[in-house]
Chains A and B, each alone.
Chain A
Amino acid sequence: MKWINPDKFFDMNRPKLLMFGWEFPPHNSGGLGVACFGLSRALSRLNTEIIFVLPQKIPTTADFMRVVFPEDYLSEEIIRQSRLTGDLMLHAYVTSQEYQTQLEKVSLLKGAVTYASDLYGEVRRYGVLARAIAKKETFDVIHAHDWLSFPAGIEAKRVSGKPLIVHVHATEFDRCGGPDINRQVFEIEKEGLEKADGIVAISEFVKNNIIRNYGADPKKIRVIHNGVDEEDYATDPGAHEGFEALKAAGKKIVLFLGRITIQKGPDYFIEAAKIVLNYNPDVIFLVAGSGDMERQMIRKAAELGIGDKVIFTGFLRGKEWLQVFRSADLFVMPSVSEPFGLVALESMVNGTPVLISKQSGVSEVARNVLKTDFWDTEEMANKILAVLGSEGLPAVLKKEGFSEAREISWKEAAKKCIEFYNQLAQT
């Protein structure tokens, strides 16, 4: 990556960041937590100081920055008040307005500690809670990841007057796989994009989407692709007995790994599997993940008569996740709408050949992968069969994919972020 003159880069200022996230590994449900972790670690290593806010108090291994939780800020105040007044709620001298405020704080606190059933309410509460943090901490730039933390970012900007960057990892249109979206979420996203001083889109795909669907100002947007860090996959997970037995029996393994939802295109995977199996019966198709289309997919495989060749493993993490990755002869990501698709880079860095849909952000940067349109299941099958029938093709994909993924690091993304902070600070 030769995007910036290194001399220029090292002259840059490192603003102090107030960063709002939603989840963090290992307590993550998807790529957002992984991306926040990777980016903030790389920023820290480039000497950027970060206060990272998470809505829920969870243990974290992120020792490279300060991770804070709104409840710490609130409880401090509430405890102080309780000590002064005994029972907070029964205190006689509070005005009605003060009482309302205290009540709000207590209910907010409860909401923050016990996960609210209403996600929108939770997101709004996070926004209100951000106020206390923004008032207490000093920072130069606010950086908020995805709609869940946009209200928090906006609130922090309102009380501090500091510039706000919103980082768009996915939009409601991606999650819903089409135009049938939740308006509440859409409005939160739209507000974030409007109030932000700068927008990071994780791909051209996302950039085009937010311009088209949200009317985001193209001049505010900077595309900064995600990265992957090899060091996160350095521990050898050992062999998985089941998969090794399959391979010993001469079976090839083709892997789908992700949420089983319309966005990820699992149905195209099953259709391609059917075509492949017509020509090569010695293939096992693994579907690793869970989601609302899981039962439908199991039924579909059965209907196509390939129920015995498609294995559903459920959601995997940690060691098993890595074992599956490394056992596979090919990883397929047939996403219908994929803002990025970090899992493709993870596959590359783990030395597993990759086939991705052209409708993914990662296809803008990854060159040593196979690509098809998500709907072209015949071409998908053609490429799967080619990988399974050759030694040279998977060998080159593995070798070149690995060295390429090493270059697509979070460090590169972090450098671009720092450049963006500087640019915003100047205007």
Chain B
Amino acid sequence: MPSICFYFQVHQPMRIKKYRFFDIGQDHNYFNDHSDTNLNNVKILKKVSDKCYLPANRILLEMIRQHPEFKISFSFSGVFLEQLEMFMPEVLASFQELVATGNVEILDETYYHSLSFLYSPEEFKHQVGKHKKMIRRLFGLTPRAFRNTELIYNNDLARAVEEMGYKVILAEGADHILGWRSPNFLYRPQGLDKIKLLVKNYKLSDDIAFRFSERSWKEHPLTAGKFAHWVAEHNGNGEVINLFMDYETFGEHQWADTGIFEFLRHLPAELAQKSDIDFVTPSEAAARYRPVGELDAPHFVSWADTERDLSAWLSNDMQREAMEKIYALEEEIKNINDDRLLEDWRRLQTSDHFYYMCTKWWNDGDVHKYFNPYDSPYDAFIAFINALNDVKLRSQNLVAKK
């Protein structure tokens, strides 16, 4: 009787507006686009709230009320929650209502949904600490489970996160760390005995997140009954099936007219019919099951693309330049200790800024494969680097004043 562990990533970056060279030294508001484009963060937040967050929250709440055994987990980025507080408090309230049922676990992550662990362990800890405080303030919970940005994971990360006191960590069930092993069991990170590791079943997760509405897929249309059957087939050879995906799958990536909400709604009943499969949160899974072995992840894995590595954020010279330049400012900016400057520097660390600069898929010409609010990866880089140069200039000016 396997358990299902649902985890949803909920994140919206603060996208940088079309910030020109001439704005450097003149305009320090990088994230306040008011245009009709997809760089307008409030516009996007409203759109996704209407299509996804509000209807999906409503359905999940109904499901929890009808099926008290139904459990889910979320990880909200700090920049997402901050935007909700500022612009869409009613959406925040609906998440709070959902969490108040007690059937929802919240995971910690970096507040800025950043790649800080790769560049500065100190900065990473700060951002996780800031996230923890926010979750306490908004939801009254103290997370015990951790999930790093976009499921980026390796042995060193697991060690750092264990030292920070977390009991369980999530990772991509990438073939290159699992090898012949199944993702449907609890594991121990290499060399660690306190923290447990849950890895994503990418086959079943992606059936929902990516293939659900794909008409050329031989399993289309995917019904709750069919999916429940696939899960039930793991009876006897799996303990916990980790279905990890973007929350925006429901209504935004897969539109309502694909039937994704109906799928979700019927899933608990269909699963209950099949040899009572139940639901667990990551912490419950870690407490209930024993690790079946150790997983070694010397190199970074992530849930991005088929490569499942860091190439979505760090595969070309623009991305590397941008990343190196932002972390090169760390010491100087921390010494100045100006709240606003620090905050802007951190907001520029959000991984999405680097993702938009990726040229990997650009040449395929397939705009549906990924979402980019900029006209090109080059435009994304230009806006970023100009904004970063403004941060640098502000920093230099403050140093000069001292």
Which residues of chain A have a CB within 8 Å of any CB of chain B? 279, 367-368, 370-371, 378-379, 381-383, 385-386, 389-393, 395-397, 399-400, 403-404
Contacts and interface: CB of A to CB of B under 8 A. Distances in A.
B311 to A, nearest CB: 14
B70 to A, nearest CB: 45
Given A379-B20, A395-B317, A367 B381 contact: no
A404 B381 CA distance: 19
A386 B385 contact: yes
A279 to B, nearest CB: 7
Interface of B is mostly: helix
B339 interface: no
A370 B385 contact: no
Interface residues of B, number: 24
A371 B21 contact: no
B359 A368 contact: yes
Given A371-B376, A391-B317, A392-B316, A386 B382 contact: yes
A392 B21 contact: no
Contacts of A371: 375-376
Contact of A382 (B319, B375, B377, B382): B382
Given A368-B363, A382-B20, A392 B322 contact: yes
B386 A386 contact: yes
A218 B158 CA distance: 62
A395 B321 CA distance: 11
Contacts of A395: 317-318
Interface string B21-48: 1100000000000000000000000000
Given A367-B365, A391-B317, A404-B363, A383 B322 contact: no
A396 B382 contact: no
Contact of A279 (B21, B378, B381): B21
Contacts of A404: 363
A61 to B, nearest CB: 33
A279 B20 CA distance: 13
Q: Which of B318, B365, B381, B386 has the most CB of A within 10 A?
A: B318
Contacts of B136: none
Given A382-B20, A382-B21, A383-B382, A396 B359 contact: yes
Contacts of A383: 382
Interface string B188-215: 0000000000000000000000000000
Contacts of B359: 368, 396, 400
A220 to B, nearest CB: 27
Interface of B: 20-22, 316-322, 359, 362-363, 365, 375-379, 381-382, 385-386, 389
4 cross-chain pairs, A with B, having the tightest CB-CB distances, nearest first: A392-B321, A392-B317, A392-B318, A395-B317
Q: Which of B317, B322, B362 has the most CB of A within 10 A?
A: B317
26 contacts: A279-B21, A367-B362, A367-B363, A367-B376, A368-B362, A368-B378, A378-B20, A378-B22, A379-B20, A382-B21, A382-B382, A385-B21, A386-B21, A389-B389, A392-B319, A392-B381, A393-B321, A393-B382, A393-B385, A395-B317, A396-B377, A399-B316, A399-B317, A400-B316, A400-B359, A400-B363
A395 B315 CA distance: 13
B385 A390 contact: yes
Nearest to B324: A392
A403 B385 CA distance: 25
Nearest to A381: B21
Contacts of B382: 382-383, 386, 393
Nearest to A395: B317
Nearest to B386: A386
A392 B321 CA distance: 6
Nearest to B377: A396
A386 B363 CA distance: 22
A91 to B, nearest CB: 67
Contacts of B375: 371
Given A382-B22, A393-B321, A393-B378, 12 more contacts: A367-B362, A378-B20, A379-B20, A382-B386, A385-B21, A389-B385, A390-B385, A391-B321, A392-B319, A393-B385, A396-B359, A404-B363
A199 B340 CA distance: 60
A374 to B, nearest CB: 16
Nearest to B379: A370
A370 B381 CA distance: 11
Nearest to B321: A392
A378 B22 CA distance: 9
Nearest to B319: A392
A324 B261 CA distance: 59
A385 B386 CA distance: 10
Contacts of B378: 368, 370, 393, 396-397
B206 to A, nearest CB: 24
A385 B21 CA distance: 7
Q: Which of B322, B378, B382 has the most CB of A within 10 A?
A: B378
Nearest to A358: B375
B187 to A, nearest CB: 38
A39 to B, nearest CB: 23
B362 A393 contact: no
A399 B377 CA distance: 14
Contacts of A370: 376, 378-379
A396 B316 CA distance: 7
A279 B22 CA distance: 9
Nearest to B323: A392
Contacts of B386: 382, 386
A399 B22 CA distance: 28
A385 B381 CA distance: 13
Contact of B320 (A378, A379, A392): A392
A379 B375 CA distance: 13
Contacts of A379: 20
Contacts of B377: 396
A93 B139 CA distance: 111
Contacts of A400: 316, 359, 362-363
Nearest to B318: A392
Contacts of A392: 316-322, 381
Contacts of B376: 367, 370-371
A299 B170 CA distance: 66
Contacts of A403: 363
A391 B381 CA distance: 12
A316 B316 CA distance: 34
Contacts of A397: 378
B20 to A, nearest CB: 4
A1 to B, nearest CB: 10
A279 B23 CA distance: 12
A378 B23 CA distance: 11
A396 B318 contact: yes
A390 B382 CA distance: 9
